[in-house]
A and B are shown apart, each in its own frame.
Chain A
Amino acid sequence: MTDHKIKRFSTYRIAEHWVHMAIFIVLVVTGLSQKFHSLDVSMWLIFHLGGIDYVRLIHRYAGMVFLVITALHIIAGIVCVAAKKWPPSMVINKKDFSDAIHNIRYYLGVETQPAACDRYSYKQKFEYWGVLIGSVIMIFSGLILWFPVFVTRLLPGEIIPASKVLHTNQGFLMFLIIALWHIYNSIFSPEIFPIDKSIFTGSISRDRMLREHPVELARMEGRPIAMIDAMHDK
């Protein structure tokens, strides 16, 4: 019973993650090598990708794909949540803040138990919203930098260097969030090492559900949360 798999992600989500991952890698490689252009490794990379012009071209077309999948994600999310087809499980609520404080207290040894999270933990929600808002910033600033002549017909010229600051810093920030936080939580965290495969297989073990998403598990199994807590203690 304990290690039976529970369905967690639909095929759509699995595919979406794959595409996002691939595009993100392309954008990071072609983007950061431009940001840190004086590094030898950037030079090497750019020249082996066919020169700066090609790298910029790849970055822009990858950005187009990124725009499309991000837009689809947002539209699908808004429509389906509004139509009550999907539960608003990503919406940040009061419990997320109390969970965060609770967990810090737990890490410091004040609390005996970690916070009991729902479908998405506060860590996942904060990361999700951080990356989503970041993506929107990246898309808009990227488009402005791609079409400076058009943009300055409508907006003051200063918007261009400002967008450059936004794009380069936000891109770097997103890279850091993914490289440090996301990779830690889905690969290097001792609780899930060597890798969290749920986004690739679409299912998660009941054990991990019990540990990481007890509230959702309780709802799925129709038990009160207290029982789940009791199971946790065993």
Chain B
Amino acid sequence: MLSQNTHTGIMVALLLLIFAASPAEPQNSALSDEAQKCLSCHSQHGLVKTFENKDTLVAYVDSEKFKASAHGSLKCSDCHVDFAGEKHPQRRFRSKEQYKTKSAMTCRKCHRYEQIKTKSIHSMLLSEEESGMSHPCTNCHGSHSIMPVSRKTFKNEEQYCLKCHGHKLNMGFKSGENLSLKIDLSLLQNSVHKRLSCSDCHFGFSHSQHPQRNFKSRRDLSIANSETCRRCHFDKYTKTMESIHYAMLSQGYLNAPVCTDCHGSHSILHFGKERTIIAQRCRKCHTGIFEVYSKSVHGKALFDEHNQDVPVCIDCHTAHDIKNPLTLDYREKIPDMCSNCHANEAVVRKYGLSTNVVKTYLSDFHGVTLSFYRKQREEFNKPARQIAVCTDCHGTHNIISTRSTDPATVKANLVRRCQQCHKDAAKNFPDAWLSHYEPTLANAPLVFIATMIYKIFIPIMVIGITLQILLHIWRYAVNR
């Protein structure tokens, strides 16, 4: 008996709960009398409000949508306060914008400032409102079709986030800077990350979470956000940790580039085969060097002829583990960098360039010394001095073709380069270097002839001596 009563009691309680909950369910709400009255006109198409600046607003209200909205059970005059009862005043507004701002003020009657401020997205907008910008609630939430954002169904996370971030949104920083948080969907969809969801990168943000983060400056935000890249691109991340950029950043030089400075953020693209883009990225900070480079034989070919064989910044400096180029370590690797192309027939042959340039350098005084210094440092940790490498004669970013200049100028320039180490070098001095040519009778007769003489004389001498010795031994053996 007792238990039956208890059961019935629970059933009743549950039913009561359902009924008690039902008024909150907009689907079940009935339109108020007043709303029905208003909708007798406003549910018809063709009602248009015109503002002073000729903006127009359709005064049509979809009764079904309104009924389904969170405010479906409210009276029209609850929001449109001027229109209570029989009143239908003719109001004048300068613009649609002014109308929207004014109308949205009514929301605050129920949704108090203190209450809405607790959501970080609101607090940001509200703080902007204080500085005179207007963010009508209806921009994001809609008006007659209003619904709590969390109850809406979105196809994907992007849509969810863009519900707000598709609009003009600003983030303020302590430094006084502002950052637009409006995301252009088309950029996202063209990026290599188009299959990712927002929270894949914006870790910690989701349907339910939108933490309020405070940054001193825009730069701080960029640096913090770029940390997310390593969650997928860990190999590149570890490489950057060896770079001069990272070293500068960790020393507090915040303008040193992070991932997004070169790769972009929402518009992230494959660098692919388009090498001009690479040079352009570095230009953002290294403007002076870019200007010099773009006038060099490599830069001109890249920008004027769209030549994709020429080196761009990253071919010498690498992309992620960019080292300080002023170290001895870097300097000693320069001939290797140049030989990547200039010792490669497939690359330079078509421009009529010789692949001998690296070999002739390495077999001459400077090259041999460099090889020694490198080995000494690597294997025996012995000190090394600077020795002339490719760039000391040819220049670095300002490399010009020796063919585009007349030989006298090339030679005069070369003397000056020599003089940087060989202080008193005279104008004859550069001739001591055979300009990467193998000696021939025409370009270096003395060297050529001397080489030939020894090539013949040394074997003859060795054969003659050996024969003499053998004959002598043979005679000695016979005599015994």
C-alpha gap A189/B465 in the complex (Å): 13
Residues of A within 8 A of B468 (CB): 123, 181
**Interface residues of B, count at CB 8 A:** 49
Q: CB distance B368 to A177 under 8 Å? A: no
Contact B462 A158 (CB under 8 A): no
Q: Are A152 and B432 in contact (CB under 8 A)?
A: yes
Q: Does A222 contact B (CB under 8 A)?
A: no
Smallest CB gap from B464: residue in A: A181
Query: Is A106's CB under 8 angstroms from B432's CB?
Result: no
| Chain B residues, Cβ within 8 Å of A173 | 454, 457-458, 461
Q: Contacts A157-B430, A165-B454, A169-B450 known; A52 to B373 CB distance under 8 Å?
A: yes
A76-115 residues at the B interface, CB under 8 angstroms: 104, 106-109
User: Which residues of chain B have C-beta atoms less than 8 A from A176's C-beta?
Assistant: 458, 461-462, 465
Interchain CB contact under 8 A, A165 and B478: no
> Shortest Cβ distance from B126 into chain A, in angstroms?
71
B466 touches A149 (CB 8 A): no
Whether A209 sits at the interface, judged by CB under 8 Å, is: no
Q: A180 near B469 (CB under 8 angstroms)?
A: yes
Q: What CA separation (Å) do A204 and B372 show in the bound complex?
A: 48
**Closest-CB distance, B35 to chain A (whole angstroms):** 95
Q: Which residues of chain A from 170 to 202 have a CB within 8 Å of any chain B CB? A: 170, 172-173, 176-177, 180-181, 184, 189-191
Q: Mark A24-53, 1 if CB is under 8 A from B, else 0.
A: 000000000010010000010011001111
Contact residue among B426, B461, B474 (Cβ-Cβ distance under 8 Å from A152): B426
Cβ proximity bits B379-415 to A, threshold 8 Å, 1 near / 0 not: 1101111000000000000000000000000000000
- Count A interface residues, CB 8 Å: 43
- Please tell me if B434 contacts chain A, counting CB pairs below 8 Å: yes
Q: Is the C-beta of B422 less than 8 angstroms from some C-beta in chain A? A: yes
CB contacts (< 8 Å) of B368 on chain A: these are 34, 37
A6 interfacial contact with B, CB 8 Å: no
Query: A158 touches which one: B365, B380, B447, B457 (CB < 8 A)?
Result: B447
User: Across the interface, which residues of B come within 8 angstroms of A34, CB to CB?
Assistant: 368
Answer yes or no: B439 CB below 8 A from chain A CBs: yes
Asked if A159 lies at the interface with its beta carbon under 8 angstroms from chain B, I say yes
Q: Tell yes or no: A139 within 8 A of B by CB.
A: no
Known contacts A52-B372, A107-B474, A109-B478; 11 additional CB pairs below 8 A are A37-B371, A47-B382, A51-B383, A106-B475, A148-B432, A149-B425, A157-B428, A165-B447, A169-B450, A180-B462, A190-B476
B interface, by DSSP: helix, strand, loop or mixed? Answer: helix
- A165 in contact with B429 given A37-B372, A107-B475, A158-B444 (CB within 8 Å): no
Asked, given contacts A158-B447, A180-B466, A191-B476, whether A107 binds B428 with beta carbons under 8 Å apart, the answer is no
Nearest residue, chain A, Cβ from B458: A173
A230 lies within 8 A of chain B by Cβ: no
Give CA–CA (A176, B473) in the complex, Å.
19
**CA gap between A170 and B447 in the complex, in Å:** 14
A153 contacts B by Cβ under 8 Å = yes
Q: Are B432 and A177 in contact (CB under 8 A)?
A: no
Contacts of B431 in A (CB 8 A): 152, 156-158, 160
> Out of B454, B462, B476, which one reaches A169, CB within 8 Å?
B454
Q: Distance (Å) between the CB of B94 and the closest chain A CB?
A: 84
Residue pair A149, B424 in contact (C-beta under 8 Å)? yes
Whether, in the assembled complex, B199 has its beta carbon less than 8 Å from a beta carbon of chain A, the answer is no
- Complex CA distance for A169 and B375, rounded to whole angstroms: 26
For A150, list chain B residues within 8 Å (CB).
424
Contacts of A164 in B (CB 8 A): 365
Residues 452-463 of B, flagged 1 when their CB comes within 8 A of A and 0 if not, give: 001001100110
Given the contacts A47-B380, A169-B458, A52 and B471 also touching, CB distance less than 8 Å? no
- The distance in angstroms between the C-alpha atoms of A72 and B371, with both chains bound, is 38
A165 to B423 CA separation, bound complex (whole angstroms):
25
Let me know if B422 and A149 touch, CB within 8 A: yes
Q: In this assembly, does A166 line the interface, its C-beta being within 8 Å of a C-beta of chain B? A: yes
With contact pairs A109-B478, A166-B450, A180-B462 given, residues A157 and B472 touching in the complex (Cβ less than 8 Å): no
Q: Nearest chain-A residue to B470 (Cβ)?
A: A107
Whether B376 sits at the interface, judged by CB under 8 Å, is yes
B369 at the interface (CB under 8 A from A): yes
Chosen A-B contacts, 26 in total, with CB atoms closer than 8 Å, are: A37-B368, A37-B371, A43-B375, A46-B372, A47-B380, A51-B384, A52-B369, A52-B372, A107-B472, A148-B429, A149-B429, A152-B428, A152-B432, A157-B428, A161-B434, A162-B446, A162-B447, A162-B450, A169-B458, A170-B454, A173-B454, A176-B461, A176-B462, A180-B469, A190-B473, A190-B476
How far is it, in angstroms, between the C-alpha of A157 and the C-alpha of B474 when the chains are bound?
Answer: 50
**Contact A161–B444 (Cβ < 8 Å):** yes
- Complex CA gap A172/B458 in Å reads 9
Give CA–CA (A157, B372) in the complex, Å: 25
Say if the beta carbon of B451 comes within 8 Å of chain A: yes
Find the B residue at minimum CB distance from A55. Answer: B372
**Contacting residues, chain A, for B379 (C-beta < 8 A):** 47
Please state if A47 and B376 are interface contacts (CB–CB under 8 Å): yes
